[in-house]
Amino acid sequence: MNDAPADPRLDGRAVRRIVYTEAEIAKRVRELGDQITSSYPDGDLLVLGLLKGSFIFLSDLVRSIKRPLHVDFLVAASYGDAVVSSGNVRLVYDPETVLQGKHILLVEDVVDSGRTLNHLMQLLSARSPRSLEICAFLHKHIAEHLSHPTKFVGFDAPNEFLVGYGLDHAENFRHLPYIASLKS
Ligand code: IMP
Ligand code: MG
């Protein structure tokens, strides 16, 4: 548990600690890319990023997947500025791409309560994809009911409020190249 450096990106806000460094993240994302590459030997692969939280992870991840693929996005609103999940999930942007017959890999920043994913998986599986799996950068393993296991996980994360590498608090800190735990 290293002390957080004084980082001008934090605007004076204290972080408890750095949880995953930039180098640790890069190494793990390369491993995930290899795992995903070998999991899809054939067929059309559509990598579906859940915005906004997955945007940095997704952009690194797709560059480490060594097979053809397409990229699209979903926008689901659930949290607002609160640190506690409201459980309301609303689709704000729905991809126009046909999902039928394709391998769909839904990319999420973090599995917390799992409500967002449960809702989205139900919605996406109704569109008859060839396969439907989840790749989450972080998994807190606190969800009581997950309708679908998360096949690809970057890190088993502590149950703390985490920011950086796409994850925000009230839209701040998404651009940190590492994952930090926020002081509450
Ligand atoms: P869930 O539906 O509770 O699993 O969480 C849905 C969304 O909440 C995630 O995609 C994140 O955008 C956000 N979230 C959950 N935990 C954290 C966190 O520790 N930091 C920042 N955002 C979080
Ligand atoms: Mg968020």
Query: Structure pTM?
Result: 0.91
Whether 44 sits among the annotated catalytic residues: the reply is: no
**Closest ligand to Cα 180:** 1
Q: CA distances (Å), 8 to each of 11, 77, 174, 176, in order?
A: 6, 29, 14, 10
What is the full per-residue pLDDT of the chain (184 aa) written as tens digits?
555 557 889 888 778 899 999 999 999 999 999 999 999 999 999 999 999 999 999 999 999 999 999 999 999 876 554 444 445 566 788 887 899 999 999 999 999 988 888 989 988 999 999 999 999 999 999 988 888 999 999 999 999 999 999 999 999 999 999 999 988 7
Instruction: Give the distance (Å) from ligand 2 centre to CA of residue 179.
Output: 14
CA–CA separation, 67 and 147 (whole Å): 28
Q: How far apart are CA 162 and CA 73, in angstroms?
A: 22
Tokens of 43: 């067929």
Distance CA(109)–CA(155), nearest Å, equals: 11
